[in-house]
Amino acid sequence: MPFVMFAVLFGMILINLPVAFALFLVSIVFGFLFWGWGGLYVVFQGIWNLMNNWALVSLPLFVFMSALLEKSGIAEELFTTLYNLLGKVRGSLAIIAVVFGYLIGAMSGVIAAAVSALALIIFPAMEKHNYDRRLSIGSILAAGCLPQIVPPSFNMIVYGSVAGVSVGKLFAGGIGAGLVMAIFFIIYIALWSLFNKDRVPVIREDIPLREKIASLRFIIGPFVIIIGVLGSIFTGMATPTEASGVGALLSLIYVGFRRRLSGKVLAESLLVTLKVTSMACWIMSAGSAFSSVFNGIGGRRIMIGLLSSLPAAEITVLVFSAAIIFFLGMFIDPVSITMIMTPILTPVVVSFKYDPIWWGVIFCSLLLLSYITPPVGLGLYYFKGVAEHVSMDEIYKSVLPFVIIMFLAIVIAMIFPSSILWFVRVLGKV
């Protein structure tokens, strides 16, 4: 039955029904038919759950910070400066997007926050400098997923407590896996840019050194904001969620200090924040309802059945596990997947003498893919919610190469476990 549920969802999405309501509709219909009144009750609870999610308080704060920097012109100033400074480095803006994605990862685990932040601050700069659209969109989406694997990562905490392994070591593995992915993205961006010179411009003439040094002043402000957010976390002043509030305040102060804080800039930023937060959270509410109905009507039983029907060989288990996480990830939210699948898959994988830390990192990496794979890829929707003028099929096409790169990175980490365990050994001395 859950598979029929997926098929109907797919159909509803295709007829252009807003994703949030497609998820609600399928939850209502299937919840009612196969669970009865209880199914309807959990649809309400999906919204209530989201409304009480403390970690997501950081979402409006992050979006506001980004919108403020964008509307006040400070983001454009920053990225144009970086673009000029990096001169002949082809694809520099896309590479910077990846670096920013990694940095945001150290501040937050909320992908909605990372994707909308990057879409707000870097995408306009890429458009301005005539970057290839697909490269721009793809790199932002790939970068926007990194926060879920770069610690702090809520999924890793859930995995750690369910599988009974060290959170610190998982985090160390996450730092590594995130780094490997980021490097893969950067290599791809650099190579693609090299082969498509006409579509990834660089500045024509050399900028004199003095001008370059003078332009550094445009970097200092945003740099201080980033240091402020990271600093407030790593000095123990604030939790990551709280740090986004510190970041929003610092941005307000900086924009005010630069005399760019007009009533218009403030109002526009606040309105964008409202819209993007509302869009993302309504999708997540509906997604939460959908996951509950999936579980309530026997989703987990089917997964266990599928797994036990396979011949218990090492390779089938690994491939099946990867495939199932990937498949569920198309429809179900990652925290639910972690909770349902960790107790089912992890004992089997570990019974083949695989390292549980390594598997945890792989598990969480596979979950990232779910954010950027069609049909239901939350990251894709968040991007569209910010960049309304970009069409959905363009987003799908743009993200494809990055899905492949990410997948390759994961496969390599699967074939060579030491690539992740090295980081665990070096960084994981907790």
Partner 1 sequence: AQAQTFNFKMATFYVAGDPAFDVANHFAKLVKEKTGGKVNIEVFQAGELGFPVVEILEATSRGVIETAIFYTSYKAAQDAVMALAGGRPGPVFNFDEQVKYVKAVEDIVASAFKRFGVTYIGPIVYGEPEILVSTKPLTGIKDIKGRIFRASGMAAEFYKALGAQAVMLPAGELYQALQLGTIDGLEWTDFTANYKLGFYEVAKHVLEPTKGVNLHSEAAVHAFLVFNPAVWDKLPKEYQEIVKSSCAEAYKWGGEFIANLNKEYRQKWIDAGAKVVQLPQEDLDQIISVGAKLIASYAAKSPDAKDFCLKLIPLWKELGYERWSKALEGELK
Partner 2 sequence: MSFIDRLNVRLARFLMYLTLAIVLVVVYGVFTRYFIGRADARVIFVSVWLYGSLFALGGGFTLLEKGHVSVDIVYKKLPSRIKRALDIINLLLIIFCGAVIIYVSLPLAYESFLKREVDSSLGIVFAPPIWWFKWVPVIAVILIVLQALSLLNKILKNKTIRKGRDEK
Q: Which two tokens stand for residue 173?
A: 């593995």
HSE, side-chain direction, 13 A CA sphere, residue 329: 22
Task: Write out the residues near Na ion by the rule CB under 5 A.
Answer: 105, 109, 147, 150, 152, 330, 370, 373, 377
Minimum gap (Å) between residue 336 Cβ and partner 1? 7
Residue whose pair of structure tokens reads 């549980």 in the numeric block? 356
Compute the distance between CA of residue 282 and CA of residue 279 in angstroms, rounded to an integer.
Answer: 5
240 binds partner 1 (CB under 8 A): yes
Residue whose pair of structure tokens reads 């702090």 in the numeric block? 152
Among partner 1, partner 2, Na ion, none, partner that 15 touches (CB below 5 to 8 angstroms by kind): partner 2
Compute the distance between CA of residue 206 and CA of residue 119 in angstroms, rounded to an integer.
Answer: 29
Q: Which two tokens stand for residue 179?
A: 């780094």
Choosing from 1, 4, 7, 57, the residue that interacts with partner 2 (CB under 8 A) is: 57
111 binds partner 1 (CB under 8 A): no
One-letter amino acid of 110: V
Compute the distance between CA of residue 337 and CA of residue 294 in angstroms, rounded to an integer.
Answer: 11
Select from 116, 134, 130, 11 the least CA-distant residue to 396.
134
Among partner 2, Na ion, partner 1, none, partner that 279 touches (CB below 5 to 8 angstroms by kind): partner 2
Select from 248, 240, 237, 310 the least CA-distant residue to 277.
248
Which window, 20-28, 117-125, 137-145, 341-349, contacts partner 2 (CB under 8 A)? 20-28
- The residue (of 166 and 215) whose beta carbon lies closer to partner 1 is 166
Compute the distance between CA of residue 85 and CA of residue 89 in angstroms, rounded to an integer.
Answer: 9
Beta strands in 205-345 (DSSP E): none
198 binds partner 2 (CB under 8 A): no
167 burial type by CB count under 10 A (0-12 exposed, 13-18 middle, 19+ buried): middle
**Crossing angle (nearest 10°) for helices 378-386 and 392-415:** 140
- The residue (of 15 and 415) whose beta carbon lies closer to partner 2 is 15
Q: Which of residues 314-343 bind partner 1 (CB under 8 A)?
A: 336, 339-340, 342-343
Minimum gap (Å) between residue 95 Cβ and Na ion? 20
Which window, 80-88, 114-122, 127-135, 386-394, contacts partner 2 (CB under 8 A)? 386-394
**Crossing angle (nearest 10°) for helices 154-163 and 167-195:** 140
Choosing from 158, 386, 390, 421, the residue that interacts with partner 1 (CB under 8 A) is: 158
- The residue (of 235 and 309) whose beta carbon lies closer to partner 2 is 235
Minimum gap (Å) between residue 27 Cβ and Na ion? 17
What is the phi-psi region of residue 91: left when phi exceeds 0, alpha when psi lies from -120 to 50, beta otherwise? Answer: left
Minimum gap (Å) between residue 153 Cβ and Na ion? 5
Choosing from 292, 365, 398, 419, the residue that interacts with partner 1 (CB under 8 A) is: 292
SS3 141: helix
242 binds partner 2 (CB under 8 A): yes
Peptide bond into 356 cis (omega under 30): no
- The residue (of 71 and 169) whose beta carbon lies closer to partner 2 is 71
Choosing from 104, 163, 337, 369, the residue that interacts with partner 1 (CB under 8 A) is: 163
Q: Which residues bind partner 2 (CB under 8 A)?
A: 12-21, 24-25, 28, 40-41, 43-44, 47-48, 50-54, 56-57, 59-61, 64, 232, 237-238, 241-242, 244-246, 248-249, 252, 267, 270-271, 273-283, 375, 381, 384-385, 388, 391-393, 396
Q: Which residues bind partner 1 (CB under 8 A)?
A: 37-38, 41-42, 45-46, 48-49, 52, 54-55, 151-152, 154, 157-158, 160-164, 166-168, 233-241, 288-289, 291-293, 295-296, 301, 336, 339-340, 342-343, 430
